[in-house]
Structure 1
Amino acid sequence: MLDLAGLPWPGQYAAIAVLCYLLIVFQGEDDRYLNCCSVEKIREINQAAKEKGRHFELTVYPGAGHGFNLGPLKNKELDAETWQKTIDALQRYLPLPAK
């Protein structure tokens, strides 16, 4: 789990993307939390990850904001869907392939 909020330097998203083998992102289309979580910034991560051969899965939820699966904003349907997609992705990619 990565928390990208508040990282102050340019290219931070691209730098983080190359550190991960698998990135699973559930993005609220209307998310603008701390200017870190816009769909545009997530697509920057996607591009950097793919350039480094990393697996990246992005699901964008129209009309959803930051924290759509947390606390008082929690949408139970979307929460269940994101958990199932996480489990499915982990089953596809883990264990890591032998080299």
Structure 2
Amino acid sequence: MEKEQTREADIPHGGLKTAKHNYQIHMATADSAEKLLCSLLEHAMEKTVAGLPPDIQVVARTNFYQSMVRDSIQRQYAAVEPQPETGLER
């Protein structure tokens, strides 16, 4: 018996829509270097998932947008977080 083909319209997109919306809000306030990096990674992700089944594409995109926001926030906090003093000079 052949597996029924899943159509993208049949996949719940609530998680993807929320993740992409959060990503777009975060990118609106990001600096130009962060925007460029995220744009390049988003393009690479789209090329990577293009040949996958639609349900897997939705999961991959959702994970991508969630991780991009999380990683971008971590990079921003790492840049402003003061480094502990070790007493050693450079």
Q: TM-score, normalised by structure 2?
A: 0.34
- Higher helix proportion (structure 1 or 2): 2
Rg larger in structure: 2
RCO higher in structure (CA 8 A, sep ≥6): 2
Higher percent of residues as strand? 1
